[in-house]
Each structure stands twice: as structure tokens, then as C-alpha cells.
Amino acid sequence: MKREQMSRIAHADHPIKSPLGDDSVRRLLEQGLPRGDERVLDLGCGGGEWLLRALAAHPRLHAEGVDVSEDALDQARDAARDIGVHDRLVLHRQDAATFASSRPFDLVLSVGATHAFGGLLPTLAAARKHLAPGGRILIGEGFWTGDPSQEAVEMLGDIADLPTTLDLVVADGWTPVHGHISTRQELDDYEWACWGSLAAWALDHPSDPDSAQALAAATTNRSEWLRVYRDIWGFLCLVLRETPA
């Protein structure tokens, strides 16, 4: 089974591909879109769920999304047509790190996609290039809540603890104007949804040649979550504005 197909199945019941509940997503978007007529860019948009929710809530909004997955972008296009916002959404299939636009954006999003840029600070640097004066960035990143094992670091990357993460952001010239730390319930709900959906699909399709692989992946990922990083990993979203020089 291709990775994109597996991800789509795993996120069927949790289309926001990060450990955030619907109310948290709504509040973050409200903080990032104070006017409601902004131009929004999502770097690493996947199936476009953040953009779809923003467009549905704000009829004067226009949005663009960038991702390398044609399957995910097709999913976003179909969903946009279904809810009637396709005329205000532009999607680009390319590496988000190399995307360029002739017009700036009032809000630049990158939630759970910092790996595409090589980490938190490179993601902020990429977002800054697209930001209009006075604009905002909405970024989501993991952080350590305890001392990680080497296995956890290899699995989730070279991230920092929460105070250090904020120090890095501020030192890079940003002021947090809103933030959200995922709750224990949000973190657990996300993992249960992903690996439960994948396992359920495998059990519902026993004759599919990918069934055994999907079930094994669900079992492995659930075990890694419980044994390797559940107790030492958190997730932070920040709404940022540039600090005056």
C-alpha cells in the first residue's frame, strides 16, 4: 500500500492531521484571521482541511495550498467542490520549500509540516518570505514534555522542550499573540483515530492484498506511540506576528 493511501485511510476520522480538536482548530483560525477577508497560504496543506474550514467560515476569504501529493490535492479539490468554495481555492503541486508567489499572504499556515523544511526555524523563514506586512503565521510543532529516548528522537526528530521552543521563536524575531498546547485528550484521540481507522479498514477488507500490511502498520504505530513517545511528546500551535525591529 502506498504511503499516501495509508495516510488517507488513517485520517478518515481525523482530517486535521495533527492532535487538535475541532474547537481548537476553530479558535486558532479565528486568531489568525481577524478580518475574515484575508489571503491565506498553507505550506504543506495535505488534503486542505485547514483551508477548507477557513473558507467555509469566511465567504470573503481566498486561499492557496501547496503540497507534493497529487492524491491529497485531489482530495482537497473534491472537498472544496462539495462545500462550494472551489472558486476561492488555488492548489499547487510542488515542494512547499520552493513555492513562490507574486502576491503576499495575510496568514501563512504550516501545522505539522515543519519536517518538509528541515525544522521549526527553516519553516518560519520560508513562511516569512510569503507574509504581507502585518500578517500572521500559524505554525504547529511538536515538543518534548520529558527526557526522550534515542529511539524517540530518531522517530520524531530533533525538537526541543516547550520553553526552549518559545525562546527559539522569539529570538527569531516573532511575537506569539496566541497559542494552544494540545491536551492529553487531543493527543490520545488523534492516535486512537489514526491507528484505529487503519486497523478497521484492514479488518473490513480481508481480501484486499494490502489488508495485512495495513493491519501490521496500525499495530506497529500504536505500539510505538504507547511505548516510545506518548509520555514525553506534546504539540504546540502558535499564532505569530513579526516583532518590530
Q: Over the chain, what is the mean pLDDT?
A: 96
Query: How confident is the model at residue 39, as a pLDDT?
Result: 98
Domain positions in the chain are: 20-183+233-242
- C-alpha cell, 244: 518590530
Q: What is the pLDDT of residue 116?
A: 85
DSSP H helical segments within 33-87, as ranges? Answer: 49-57, 70-83
| CA dist., res. 18 & res. 161, Å (int) | 18
What would the pLDDT profile of 64-73 be if each residue is shown by its tens digit?
999 999 999 9
Grid-cell match 514525553, residue found: 232
The per-residue pLDDT for 115 is 87
The pTM score is: 0.95
pLDDT band at 121 (very low <50, low <70, confident <90, very high): very high
CATH topology of domain 20-183+233-242: Rossmann fold (3.40.50)
